[in-house]
Amino acid sequence: MGISFTTINMPLVRTPMIAPTKIYDNLPAITPEEAAQMVKQAVIYRPQRIATRLGIFAAMLHAMAPKVAEIIMNSAFRMFPDSAAARGIAEAQQQASQEQIAFASLMRGIHW
């Protein structure tokens, strides 16, 4: 009997841990209950993969055009800098730019 692994592409979850990073207030995130449901599905049914459609698309893009996937991920990395809290300074009221909101909406389910 072989070992079976389930791959879960977990989107951003709205928990107290992300609360200090105010930019996440304007970005899409799932509830802890929705996250628990994803994990529960993985434990009970042991599917090969639990992922959002975007997660599956991103995996396919990475497999077929890794350079394009790298460019997209690098753009996202530069678009979402570390928060003031992550840099260890007092949190200034951070507002998401329209560009950040649009990008996060297009890539819903991905942690930025």
Over the chain, what is the mean pLDDT? 78
Contact between 22 and 96 under an 8 Å Cβ cutoff? The reply is no
**Tens digits of residue pLDDT in 14-37:** 999 888 777 788 777 889 999 899
- 10, 38 contact by CB (below 8 A): yes
Q: Is residue 42 part of a domain?
A: yes
Place of tokens 């599917």: 47
Does residue 46 carry a pLDDT above 80?
A: yes
Alpha-carbon gap, residue 101 to 96, rounded angstroms: 6
Residue scoring higher pLDDT (6 or 16): 16
- Domain for residue 2, yes or no? no
- Higher model confidence: residue 13 or residue 102? 13
Q: pTM to 2 decimals?
A: 0.52
Strand bridging mode 7-8 / 49-50: parallel
How many domains is the chain built from?
1
**Assigned domain for 1 exists:** no
Residue 71: domain span: 7-106
- Residue 65 within a domain: yes
Is residue 84 in some structural domain? Answer: yes
Q: What digits encode the pLDDT tens for the residues 51-97?
A: 777 777 878 888 999 999 889 878 877 877 777 767 777 666 667 77
